[in-house]
Structure 1
Amino acid sequence: MEIHTIVDPIRIRRAVLGFSGWPDAGKTIQQTFSELNKVLPCRAAAEWDLDGFWHTESSRPLISVRHGQIKSMDWPTYRFSLCNSPDAEPILVGMGPEPTIHWRPFARKFIRTLKGWGCEEIILLGSVYDEVFHDEILLTGIVNDSQGYNQVQALGCRQIEYTGPGAIHAVLMEYASKSQMRALSIWSHFPSYLNAPHELLIARLLHAIGTILDVEFKTDHLSQIWERRQKEIEELIENELELRQAMETQKEPGFFQPPVQPSAKVIEIDEFLRRRRERRADKE
């Protein structure tokens, strides 16, 4: 399907891009973009109906049924927005589902479209499940030139050694390099046992984006929310023997582990919160 432009012409130099699904552990990237949209004035710029880049084994359209009638159908779509900052140049922000088939044709069209809009640099965001603790903040970076290497080093991102399943980010970076477009990819590592948002990771991603784009994002509210959540998590770890034992069996941090179903020893936070609320209700 063709990309439908809402703003014409689109002229930008930089783009910040993300994908939902496999490369968005804990929905960290979706939440990061949501926070970004709250800070920067953004408007819809273009939409890409991803027909031909997904199949029903991994993705399906969302339908809304009211009183037995289908009222709407939302097909997998990649959406671009133009965001403006008073102190910096406009940036293009893109978010949508990761394609499940035909990655190379998708990447060719994606990069060709961005080049047509004048884009010279893309920043790809991703999040992966990893064997890290909730109080560890781990960002890793993948780059395609020495400037990108210096950028991710300055941000405190680790460089990785990895062999395993990849995300669409890698293909986009390959085609960006072929088109003489700068590209770097920043990944947050999400605790595999945590079944709740990680506001501190979101704040760190916003800081990284802001540093690269020379835009300041206020993240105090995210830190405050995380402080309350962390206190609750620590209380659970202290008071629940099963959870404490599960935490103690966690391995040293690995890199880019694919999402897995939690083992019997890994306890999801939401389950513990529910059980604690039920116990308190019984006591009352």
Structure 2
Amino acid sequence: MADLNWDERPTDLRDPVMVAAFGGWNDAASAASNAIAFIGERFGARRIAAIDPEGFFDFQATRPLVDLTSEGGAGSLVWPEVELLTARPPDGPHDLVLVAGTEPSMRWRTFCALLLDAARELGVRRIITVGALLADVVHTHPIRLTGMASDPALIEDWGFRAPSYAGPTGIVGVLHHAATQAGFESISMWAPVSHYAAGLTNAKGSLALVRALEGLTGITVDAAELEEAASTFEVQVGRAVEAEPRLRALVEQLEDAAGRVEEDHPGPLPTGDELAAELERFLREHGEGGAS
């Protein structure tokens, strides 16, 4: 069986741009994968191919899902996979090739080569990878994206922060590097999201990524539904912060530190995991939804 299985090979795409996001380590609070899913839904994205999971996933780490509630009890089995979909915005200069799925467990170089080969076959010249990371940011503040590109001129007018990270990377970083090395125009952008609200889908981060993708691809997205979800996210987290003293103290310190280079904290802060657990408990107890 081939690693990449095509449903169809479209030949009429308009100067397509590939946009990729992966669930897992690269996708804090599901902000990146949610942004891609939202765009796909808005433009009626159609699946054209999928990567066979057998050679790329450790099924003990990323398990298939079974549904035993159907009549007869036989159930259905859904394997983890990465899909390629096409979206055709009616008024934009580019069609989109969306790559969505879970971060693979192994053979990343082969995995990236498959995607880049597919990109070439579809006529893609620009590849945009999208991610989200947990950060010491306040949930009510505007989200300022981090961005980098194979050619800095591609993003110089967008006000992205330059990355200052050195350490382990995920498939988003590997794919961006591989695309750059292969001669594609390559852009990678990341949304920093509040670490204390990691258990909720961060629609505010998704909205920031969608708006940036509009500028980088020339499309226009009706994001009213996502804007409402972002507002709801702020309200939910705000209620939890007001009700939980440790959360409130953390947010006050982050607010105070936001405009300062150095901060002399009066004592140790609770960990992000502790605070996220408190926030999730509050939301469960008050019937406002839980983890994504």
TM-score range, shorter chain: 0.7 to 0.9
Structure 2 residue 281 is the aligned partner of structure 1 residue 271:
yes
Unaligned runs of 5+ in 1: 254-260, 279-284
- 1-structure distance, mates of 2:229, 2:180: 39
Partner of 2:35: 32
| 1:140 and 2:129 aligned | no
Residue identity opposite 1:87 in structure 2: D
- 1:52 aligns with 55
RMSD: 2.5
Provide the aligned length of Structure 1 versus Structure 2. 268
Partner of 1:21: 24
1:48-97 Cα deviation digits (max 9, x unpaired): 11211121342111222247844222222111111111112321111011
Equivalent-residue separation in structure 2 for 1:7 and 1:277 (angstroms): 44
**Structure 1 contact 49–75 (Cα < 8 Å) conserved:** no
Q: Does 1:85 find its partner at 2:127?
A: no
Q: Is the 8 A contact 2:85 2:98 kept in 1?
A: yes
The one-character-per-residue Cα deviations of 1:232-259 (angstroms, maximum 9, x if unpaired) are 4334333432321243455967xxxxxx
Query: Paired residue for 1:3?
Result: 4
Aligned residue for 2:117? 112
- How does the TM-score come out when normalised to structure 1? 0.84
Matches within 5 A, 1:61-76: 61-66=64-69, 69-76=73-80
Residue by residue over 1:91-117, the C-alpha shift from the partner in whole angstroms, topping out at 9 and shown as x without a partner, is 111101111111112212221221122
Distance 1:210 1:114 in 2: 20
Could you tell which deviates more after superposition, 113-122 or 4-13?
4-13
In the alignment, is residue 233 of structure 1 matched against residue 237 of structure 2?
yes
Instruction: Identify the residue that residue 202 of structure 2 maps to in structure 1.
Output: 198
SS in 1 for 2:205: helix
CA distance in 2, matches of 1:104, 1:270: 37
Percent identity (aligned): 24
Which of residues 115, 120, 127 in structure 2 aligns to 1:122? 127
What is the CA–CA distance in structure 2 between the aligned matches of 1:28 and 1:214, rounded to whole Å?
21
Distance across 2 between alignment mates of 1:53 and 1:206: 28
Greater shift after overlay, 79-88 or 266-275?
A: 266-275
For the 8 Å contact 1:246–1:266, the answer to whether it is kept is no
Aligned residue in 1 for 2:164: 161
Partner Cα distance (1:62, 1:276) in 2 = 29
Residue 269 of structure 1 aligns to a residue in which SS? Answer: helix
Alpha-carbon offset, residue 207 of structure 1: 0.8
